[in-house]
Structure 1
Amino acid sequence: MTADQLLRDTLREWAEETPPPGGADLAGRALLRRRRRRVTGVTVAFAAFALLAGGVAVPVLAESDQPGYSGPGRMMDNDVSAHPGESPPRHLIAAGGVAVSAYQADRRIQKQDEIERTTYTWYLYDPRTRRYEKTSWGWLDVAPGMRRAAVLEKTLPASRVGILDLATGEVTKWIPLKHRAGGVKWSPDGERLVVTTYSGYPDVEAKDFPRKRPTSQPRTGYYLVDVDSGQKEYRPMGVDMDDGYIGLGRMDVRWSQDGTLLLVPSPPGGAFETWYDLEGQPSKKTPSYEGPDAAPAGLSPDGRYYTVGDGWTATVKETGTHRTVSGSSGSMALAWADNDRLVRWDCPPDRRCTRYMGERLVLTDPTGRIKIPLSGYRYSDTPQDWEPLITRR
């Protein structure tokens, strides 16, 4: 049954169940009529939600798509929290097993002599206020479970990493670093950190390298940190200043999806990205469905699908046949909410989108035919240019 058929059948059933006019229900019918007047212009996407939400089947109210709209969002059920009128979001965006735990916004790009320096502000979800709150941190990552975050102080690179308790808003531990850090990432099990170190501000790019050289220095290495004990091990992993790769800016180390390997961006001359084991040795094993051409969503939890991308667009493929799922090509796929639902950027056909402009977050099935808006549209003019951090909850 298609979504259109489900919607028509559901509306027909509601109509058949409506009682005839009578004095006993006058008040109720008057209240219903008044409610209908208040939501004029609101679309009831019942069928799409029933297929995608996976929880209590209640209507989804798709609110105004106008830039800057600040009306209330809708908590659809315990499975999905959507605020299609908010960009950037003020209230929790979540679906299935994932949520937007934080986001970068207020992005500023300073250009001087063909060299760009990017700065931004982090907004972190605060369970005490149930809103995203502006922070003073220079970089952060939220642990799976969304109970704590790893934070770096505003001036990057930072000399220590803090462990922030999201329930209290207090840093419970500071881990000092001999080598200054510009990036941090939690392991999938939420027990360890990989902390990438830099000798200068990491978010600097040269548009005409090597004729124009960034004023900061590249990555110098990374730490592996056991969060509970505070024990850490440093591994030098620098980049040759004479290599043009320095012009590409931030080069953070990140975990494989199973937490057994580390992906380290490397300069030209070898592989563009190199996998290392946790002992610091190049790995002969390469994780399936991860790497340079993979989209962030990667492998679905049940292993049935995987995503490939080119930096802005993404496609869903079947792992058994490697065939492209019909209709799945579109904007970037960010995370699997569960086995059959994706959180991704969406560019509606009636809008002219580019990277970072004109898109909104949606919850969709692998085919991309059924979409539930999760956020409002983002635009290049501040404050609607934002980038989400998606975390398993």
Structure 2
Amino acid sequence: MKSETLLPETLGEWSKEAVVPHDLADRALRGRARYRFRSGVLAAGLTVAVVLVAVAVPQLVRNDRAPVPAAMTDPSDDIQISVAPAEPAETDLRTDTGNSPPRTLIAAGRTAVSAYYIDSAEKPAKGPKGAVRYRSTWYLYNPSTESYEKTPWAALDVAPGLKYAAVLEDELPTRRVGILDTATREVVKWIGLDHPVGEVAWSPDGTRLLTTAYDEDPRMRIERPSGPVSFEDVQNGRTGFHVVDVNAGTARFHAMANPSLMERTGILCPMGGSPFGWSHDGALIWESTCTTPSKVFYDLQGRPHDPPNGWTHPWMSSEDAGISPDGRLYADGGAPPGPQTTVREVGTGKLAGVQTTLQLLAWADDEHLIGLGCAGRCENEFHNGLVLVSLDGKQITQLSGDRENADAAGTWRPLLTRR
């Protein structure tokens, strides 16, 4: 069934409203397999601050472009990476409500906060006038110490099972990706890249990597003191993507044109080449837009493709959580002014539940979701934290400490991964 047949009439009316959601910048990047959540910078009109993602291509060729700690200089190229757990994955509830950012594991059902990051801005030594570089400091969960620990990596993603992370070094874009053992904190494998990349994403089954390639640093922005947008991406030249078979050490690069979003949609939304993400089953990839639909899909050769069955992400109503593990339900937006989210049936679009939450980020199981909940009585939507909520919205469990201003620089932002 096509996604357009799934949406109720009321949702269609809402999506036509000329109101820009507060988290439009988030939605430009959200929806990846591990549900990485980014918060944008608000502006008086349309705000889009897109941090670009990169693609990794393995040829198992070492690259001395960036220094590597001594303990990481002699990994094995032949090691086989298995993300499948040796025993059934844990599904217990783990909370850390007393700390923000968290110190110990946060998890519920099939999903855990595998890492979090904190962005900071700096003035680069080189670059055009008004250039600002946004760096992410990553804190990765260590199963040996059962705590989150600071890392030196510029970008990372955690594989299903939480045993391995794919890591990228500064300076971005870089020409190799490392496979890090999260317990020993050592890189067990380096994969050489024939095109420089800026970020990396594991496939849903943990066997492949998707990287987005750039010829400039994708973290660079031009600060605009006034105007309809607060930041505009430097023309960082997204060049395409790689699909990497981690164990075989093979990768294919696919060049992808990078027209401006104004050219593609007629809408002012300077994304500068958005990153690519995996579809929920790993059969397709997608990139974000600033209009309806919120994502466009491609096959693994970069050719345009219809959205997957059950996908429904119209502008202003999409939710990161996507389709439930059993394939019956999908997470959707709610009626303004909120806070409200909904869950609907994939086959009919029929309402299955309403929640008093700001966003739905991931499914914990078929009956519960991880989302963002307001602190107090929601006097300030940016004062929020992670919660576990039931389909009917009647049961809400606090998972993390509240963030005082989730839209401010220096705020921690979670990476959610299937465990």
**How does the TM-score come out when normalised to structure 1?**
0.71
What secondary structure does 1:248 align onto?
coil
Is 326-335 or 365-374 further displaced after alignment?
326-335
Query: Of Structure 1 and Structure 2, which has the larger fraction of its residues in helix?
Result: 1
Distance 1:288-1:304 versus aligned 2 partners, 3 A rule: closer
Distance 2:307 2:349 in 1: 20
Report deviation, 1:287. 3.7
Q: Which runs of 5+ in 2 are unaligned?
A: 1-89
Distance 2:186 2:409 in 1: 27
Distance 2:96 2:345 in 1: 31
Q: Which runs of 5+ in 1 are unaligned?
A: 1-76
1:323 is aligned to 2:347: no
What secondary structure does 1:352 align onto?
coil
- Letter matched to residue 295 of structure 2: E
Q: 1:177 aligns with which of 181, 187, 193?
A: 193
**Cα contact 1:160–1:177 (8 A) shared by 2:** yes
Distance 1:122-1:321 versus aligned 2 partners, 3 A rule: same
Residue aligning to 2:246 = 227
Is 203-212 or 293-302 further displaced after alignment?
203-212
Report deviation, 1:124. 0.3
1:254 is aligned to 2:277: yes
Report deviation, 1:283. 1.5
1:164 is aligned to 2:180: yes
- Letter matched to residue 215 of structure 2: S
Report deviation, 1:91. 0.4
Identity %: 40
Q: 2:219 aligns with which of 203, 225, 229?
A: 203
1:94 is aligned to 2:107: yes
Distance 2:355 2:280 in 1: 22
How many residues are matched? Answer: 313
- 1:333-372 superposed matches below 5 A: 333-354=360-381, 357-372=382-397
Distance 1:106-1:253 versus aligned 2 partners, 3 A rule: closer
Deviation per CA, 1:176-212, whole angstroms, max 9, x where unpaired? 1121111211001100010111122223445558998
Report deviation, 1:384. 6.7
Residue aligning to 1:125 = 141
**Cα contact 1:88–1:383 (8 A) shared by 2:** no
1:276 is aligned to 2:275: no
Residue aligning to 2:98 = 85
- Letter matched to residue 361 of structure 1: L
**Cα contact 1:160–1:174 (8 A) shared by 2:** yes
Is 247-256 or 175-184 further displaced after alignment?
247-256
What secondary structure does 2:156 align onto?
strand
Distance 1:378 1:261 in 2: 34
Report deviation, 1:279. 3.1
Residue aligning to 1:332 = 359
Report deviation, 1:172. 1.1
What secondary structure does 2:120 align onto?
strand
- 1:68-79 superposed matches below 5 A: 79=92
Distance 1:287 1:170 in 2: 40
RMSD of aligned residue pairs (Cα, Å): 3.2
Report deviation, 1:314. 3.6
Residue aligning to 2:319 = 295
What secondary structure does 1:280 align onto?
coil
Is 296-305 or 206-215 further displaced after alignment?
206-215
- 1:8-19 superposed matches below 5 A: none
**Cα contact 2:256–2:302 (8 A) shared by 1:** no
Report deviation, 1:303. 2.6
Deviation per CA, 1:70-107, whole angstroms, max 9, x where unpaired? xxxxxxx9610011111110100001111000011253
Larger Rg: 1
**Cα contact 2:119–2:411 (8 A) shared by 1:** yes
**Cα contact 1:115–1:212 (8 A) shared by 2:** no
**Cα contact 2:120–2:410 (8 A) shared by 1:** no
Distance 1:109 1:317 in 2: 43
Is 164-173 or 141-150 further displaced after alignment?
164-173
Distance 2:331 2:163 in 1: 28
Distance 1:361-1:198 versus aligned 2 partners, 3 A rule: same
What secondary structure does 1:389 align onto?
strand
Distance 1:341-1:209 versus aligned 2 partners, 3 A rule: same
Higher relative contact order (CA 8 A, sep 6+): 2
**Cα contact 1:115–1:213 (8 A) shared by 2:** no
Residue aligning to 2:255 = 236
Residue aligning to 2:32 = none
Deviation per CA, 1:211-263, whole angstroms, max 9, x where unpaired? 98644513211111000011010011131369577722561111111111111
- Letter matched to residue 385 of structure 1: T
**How does the TM-score come out when normalised to structure 2?**
0.67
